[in-house]
């Protein structure tokens, strides 16, 4: 038998067999791709959960610690202490209340820009007999929009700025005429939490806010975060804290 005849009898693959093999390979690669994508999504979700849990814990701890330090501007004299709480005009002390945007209602992330959702001050007393001015630190909590997400979420950031303050006798801080002088370079920003879907402030009892500057109420702060790539994945945290000042709504 000639070499040419042997070559003609050599077995090969038909077109149908090749098409079947390609189809099987395509199905195999499809499922491999699905497993890879699923694994990547799971890893991304797990990484987000781990990071956001840390942010929620640190952010709520930050708010808890600083809100517990809230106070009115005070004048410390040798024989007495003067502050706005002793002024018959309750609006004087009200200026230094902890103020929130809403009470008992969810504050959703803004679609654009930023909104202030909380403001409070922490004060150290002035000592005029020692020519020592007081110090007032103002804290402002902002809710900023975060574009390009499947769900509307935003970032909570805290801005702080330090002022020195002085008052005038004989009423000093009780009179409410506090002269503030900003401390150069004292403005700072702190990240509270990212991917926040809503924040909630709820004063107890929620029916009415306190009108007296020494009517101290505890307040719940809840931060609810959502994974931007999967609205069904979320984490939240809440704290209960009592400011040392009254509570009112932002204007």
Phi, psi torsion values for 138, nearest 5 degrees = -100, 130
Q: Is residue 21 part of a domain?
A: no
Q: Is residue 17 part of a domain?
A: no
112: containing domain: 32-249
Q: Is residue 124 part of a domain?
A: yes
Per-residue confidence (pLDDT) for residue 1, from 0 to 100: 46
Per-residue confidence (pLDDT) for residue 28, from 0 to 100: 66
* Mean pLDDT rounded to a whole number for the chain: 89
Phi, psi torsion values for 176, nearest 5 degrees = 85, -5
Q: Is residue 23 part of a domain?
A: no
Per-residue confidence (pLDDT) for residue 40, from 0 to 100: 55
Task: Please give the residue that has the higher pLDDT: either 42 or 161.
Answer: 161
pLDDT, tens only, 58-87: 999 999 999 999 999 999 999 999 999 999
Per-residue confidence (pLDDT) for residue 8, from 0 to 100: 52
Task: Please give the residue that has the higher pLDDT: either 30 or 239.
Answer: 239
Pairing between β-strand 98-100 and β-strand 247-249 as defined by DSSP bridges: parallel
Helix (H, G, I), strand (E, B) or coil at 67: helix
Q: Is residue 108 part of a domain?
A: yes
Q: Are 153 and 146 in contact (CB under 8 A)?
A: yes
Per-residue confidence (pLDDT) for residue 35, from 0 to 100: 61
Q: Is residue 212 part of a domain?
A: yes
Q: Are 72 and 84 in contact (CB under 8 A)?
A: yes
Instruction: Answer whether the bond into residue 205 is a cis peptide, omega within 30°.
Output: yes
Per-residue confidence (pLDDT) for residue 181, from 0 to 100: 97
Least confident of 47-51, 107-111, 114-118, 146-150: 146-150
Task: Please give the residue that has the higher pLDDT: either 126 or 40.
Answer: 126
Instruction: Give, in order, the Cα–Cα distances in Å from 19 to each of 12, 30, 46, 185.
Output: 14, 16, 40, 72
Mean pLDDT along residues 213-224: 95
Residue 14 pLDDT greater than 80, yes or no: no
**What's 128's DSSP letter?**
G
Residue 206 pLDDT greater than 50, yes or no: yes
Q: What is the DSSP string of 152-216?
A: --EEEEEEEEEEEEE--TTTGGGGT-PEEEEPTT--EEEEEEEEEEEEEEEESSTTS---STT--
Q: How many domains does the chain have?
A: 1
**What's 68's DSSP letter?**
T
Task: Please give the residue that has the higher pLDDT: either 184 or 27.
Answer: 184
Q: Is residue 207 part of a domain?
A: yes
Residue 26 pLDDT greater than 80, yes or no: no
Mean pLDDT along residues 160-180: 96
Q: What angle do CA 221, 240, 211 make, to 5 degrees?
A: 80
Dihedral class, residue 172 (left if φ above 0, else alpha if ψ from -120 to 50, else beta) = left
Q: Are 73 and 173 in contact (CB under 8 A)?
A: yes
Mean pLDDT along residues 158-177: 96
């Amino acid at each position: 038998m000639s070499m040419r005849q042997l070559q003609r009898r050599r077995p090969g693959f038909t077109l149908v067999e090749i098409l079947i093999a390609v189809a099987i390979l395509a199905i195999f690669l499809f499922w491999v791709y699905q497993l890879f994508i699923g694994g990547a999504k799971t890893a991304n979700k797990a990484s987000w959960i781990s990071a956001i849990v840390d942010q929620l814990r640190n952010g709520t701890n930050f708010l808890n610690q600083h809100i517990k330090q809230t106070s009115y501007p005070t004048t410390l004299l040798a024989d007495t202490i003067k502050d706005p709480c002793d002024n018959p005009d309750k609006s004087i002390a009200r200026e230094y209340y902890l103020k929130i945007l809403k009470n008992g209602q969810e504050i959703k992330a803004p679609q654009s820009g930023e909104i202030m959702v909380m403001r409070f001050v922490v004060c150290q007393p002035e000592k005029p007999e020692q020519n020592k001015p007081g110090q007032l630190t103002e804290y402002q909590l902002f809710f900023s929009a975060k574009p390009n997400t499947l769900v509307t979420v935003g970032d909570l950031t805290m801005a702080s700025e330090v002022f020195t303050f002085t008052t005038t006798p004989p009423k000093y801080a009780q009179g409410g005429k506090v002269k503030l002088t900003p401390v150069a370079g004292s403005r700072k920003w702190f990240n509270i939490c990212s991917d926040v879907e809503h924040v909630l402030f709820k004063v107890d009892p929620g029916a009415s806010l306190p009108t007296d500057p020494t009517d101290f109420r505890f307040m719940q702060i809840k931060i609810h975060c959502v994974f931007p790539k999967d609205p069904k994945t979320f984490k939240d945290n809440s704290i209960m804290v009592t400011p040392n000042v009254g509570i009112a709504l932002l204007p």
